[in-house]
Every structure is written in structure tokens, then in C-alpha cells.
Amino acid sequence: MTRDVAVLGAGMHPWGKWGRSFVEYGTAAARAALADARVDWRDVSSIVGADTVRGGYPGYVAGATFAKALGWQGARVTSVYAACASGAQAVGAARAQILAGLADVVLVVGADAAPKGFFRPAGGNRADDPDWLRFRVLGATNPTYFGLYARRRIAVHGDTLEDFAQVKVKNAASGALNPYARYRKRVTAEEVAASAVVADPLRLLDICATSDGGAALVLSSMDFARRHGVAEPVRIRAVSTVTPRYPTTVLDLPDIATDSAVAVEPAAEAFRASIARAAYEEAGIGPEDLSLAEVYDLSTALELQWYEDLGLCAEGEAAKLLREGVTAPGGRIPVNASGGLASFGEAVPAQAIAQVCELTWQLRGEAGDRQVAGARVGISANQGLFGHGSAVVAVR
């Protein structure tokens, strides 16, 4: 029995700062995905919404919010929150329902209207909340952590600011070819170097912006896809949603300290690497099988970290991989052919879904000027605050 589910449709609302409600973005993306799938909304048996925690109360119950906007039709409903991994958990929930025989066609939607400037915790005095504490006690914003990782890579692996800038140059060049990207302009290394330092050593153009956006997928059983006349759909072969293993020894958002390794020897494999490994094992593939990867480039330096965590190269060799053009368009494993967060910005519950949209278009050969030639296997990788793993393997 196949464990695959079919991707019948993919849709997005363009990323940007549009000043509208997350409901509008998600509904537009959903309608686009349904049209792409040639599925009537009334024939969808389940809807899964990836939640935003902004946009007010309805954001916490995104599944029902999108179902109401599309018109109540009695579908099973699920809403999931897993910070940046919300989209992957939504895909995971939809897939589980399909594989369990609970639903034949599932609509997955994530959308957000992000605030201006830094992400920040919700209001109130909450000394029991690590996310609140890191802001209150240290003023440690998200870029603070990106800066720590970048500086650590420079010290341990010899990465340079020029390497980081070249990640932005690469992703901006791809984003310029993507009609859904917020930033559609090429960027030069000189422009990166001339932008303001945000968190040493990272500059404004090393760090992703916050954005509005929406993304949606129509997933189905393989049987439904065949009955629907789609013999060779893009298939989702793995969804990794693993948690870390104690003790985590890499300082991570939103924590003020790591776990101590004094009593338990840490695993050889760090959290991000375990996210990818779980996906590879479930899919029965390895990094050598990949045609492309979409990774969570919250910062330029973090994209390099993902190369190692995905096993595209050995530890410390990511900058070399980049310099050799392996991860560039036309390279052996193009990374962030969509333009990545560098070009999209963060729309938290939508981003992991948007990554799968890009894999879908690439595997269908429908990615236009940014098409990865002959793409057969793609992985998306991401990480949600508070220990939410997120990776999806899609194949054609």
C-alpha cells in the first residue's frame, strides 16, 4: 500500500505588506489551489488551517475562519498552531486524515498579516513564558539569535560576510523571477554590505522581513487523484514534525540558555539535522536523491547552516558549497529556487505551505524562468519556535 498522498492543487496570494486581513490572503490562496486542482470547494471533505496568533481571536481558529469565508459546507475542520512549523503540521494533519481514510480531499490553508518591525510577544506580564522573558530580561529579538549563529559560524567554520551576502544575492536573483515574491529585485553584494547592521555581524539585507501572505494546497488520496484524472500527481512522501532530543546544546529561540549536558551526553545530531533525517527516513531517500531544497532562510547565515543539517555537505563546508555554485540555479541542488524568505519575508503560518507550493510547481515543471531542470525530488525544511520540526519530501 502506498503511503503517498497526492498534491492536486497549489495556490498563493502574493507576499507583501498589503494592509488587508489574513482571511483575505488565505481565501485567495485557497481559491487558487482549488482552481489549480479542478476541485469544487463543496467536494472538499476536510479543511486544515494553520493558525496565526496575530490578527485577533479568529486567527487562533484558522480552519473554521477560512471555511466560513469560503462558505460553510459541512467539511471536517482542524486548526493547528506550531509557530513557523504550523504549515507543516497542517500538511501533516491533512495527510494523516487521508492515509487513515477519514477524508479523501483536504484543503490546507495558511495566511498571515504580519506586524511591522520586530516580532514581539503578546502583551501582559508573563514571567512563565520564555518568549516574553527573553524580550523583557535581555531585549533579545529574533535577529539577536541569527547574529549569534552567524558570529559562531565565522569563528568555527571561517565563513565570511561575503559568503553571507552571496546567499542574499542568489536568493534575490531567484525571487526576481517569482511573481508571488514580495521583493522582485536583484541585489548585489555591495548593497548587502551597505545596508545597516541590525545584529552584528548581520545587516538588514541578511535578515528576512515580516510580510503578509497566504498559501494553500489541495491534497487527496492517490485513488481520488486517479478517479479525478490525474495519473501522475506530485506526491508527498514524508512529513517530519519531530521535537528535539534532551539535552539541546545549541542556544535556540526563545530560550535564554541551553539545556545542560552535565548529566546526559547530547546526541551527535543537532535538532535541525534530526528534522531532515526523519523526513529522509520516512521517504526512503537521502540527500543525494534531491533535485532541490526549500529551506528556512531567516538569515543568510542560517541558510548555510541548513546545507549542513540537510546533509548536502559535511559540517563546516556550506560556504564552500555555496561558492562552488552547487546551491545556485543550475547547480546540483538549487536551494530556495523560489527566492526563499529573503524574497518573500515571513508570513508565519503560510511559509511552510508556500515551500510545498514551490516544490509542487518545480516538480510539475511549471516554475517558469526559475524552473530547476528535470526536478524529481524536493525537500522543504523549516523549524518552529518551541521545538517544532518541519520538513516535507515531495516527489514526482
Partner 1 sequence: MVTGWFDGEGDDFRLLGTRCSACASVFFPREDVFCRNPACAGGVLEELRLSRRGRVWSYTDSRYRPPSPYVTDRELPWQPYALIAVELAAERIVVLGQAVPGVAVADLAVGMEVEVVPGVLNEDAETTWTTWHWRPTGVTA
The site for partner 1 (CB under 8 A) is made up of: 117-118, 120-121, 123, 125, 127, 132-141, 144, 147-152, 155-156, 196-202, 246-247, 249, 251, 256-264
Torsion of CA 268, 92, 385, 62, to 10 degrees: 180
Cβ 135 to partner 1 shortest distance, Å: 5
Nearer to partner 1, 157 or 396 (CB): 157
Nearer to partner 1, 210 or 220 (CB): 210
- Grid cell, residue 312, equals 548536502
Nearer to partner 1, 198 or 238 (CB): 198
Cβ 372 to partner 1 shortest distance, Å: 34
Nearer to partner 1, 234 or 302 (CB): 302
Cβ 250 to partner 1 shortest distance, Å: 8
How far apart are alpha carbons 149 and 300 in whole angstroms?
11
Nearer to partner 1, 5 or 167 (CB): 167
Nearest one of 119, 114, 120 to 22, comparing CA atoms: 114
Specify the DSSP class assigned to residue 372: P
- Grid cell, residue 244, equals 528535539
Are the C-beta atoms of residues 54 and 120 closer than 8 Å to each other? Answer: no
Residue 276 dihedral angles phi and psi, to the nearest 5°? -65, -45
Nearer to partner 1, 141 or 338 (CB): 141
Count CA atoms within 13 Å of residue 321 on its CB side: 24
Nearest one of 392, 396, 361 to 377, comparing CA atoms: 396
Nearest one of 382, 381, 358, 380 to 371, comparing CA atoms: 358
Cβ 152 to partner 1 shortest distance, Å: 4
Nearer to partner 1, 72 or 118 (CB): 118
Cβ 299 to partner 1 shortest distance, Å: 11
Identity of residue 51: D
Are the C-beta atoms of residues 306 and 296 closer than 8 Å to each other? Answer: yes
Widest pairwise Cα distance in the chain: 58
Q: Which residues pair with 377 in a beta bridge?
A: 395
Are the C-beta atoms of residues 22 and 30 closer than 8 Å to each other? Answer: no
Cβ 157 to partner 1 shortest distance, Å: 11
Nearer to partner 1, 105 or 202 (CB): 202
Cβ 183 to partner 1 shortest distance, Å: 20
Nearer to partner 1, 160 or 249 (CB): 249
Cβ 115 to partner 1 shortest distance, Å: 9
Nearest one of 2, 364, 5, 9 to 216, comparing CA atoms: 9
Cβ 137 to partner 1 shortest distance, Å: 6
How far apart are alpha carbons 142 and 5 in whole angstroms?
35
How far apart are alpha carbons 350 and 110 in whole angstroms?
4
Q: Which residues pair with 383 in a beta bridge?
A: 389
Cα dihedral 322, 326, 329, 335 sign: negative
Identity of residue 102: L
Nearer to partner 1, 249 or 371 (CB): 249
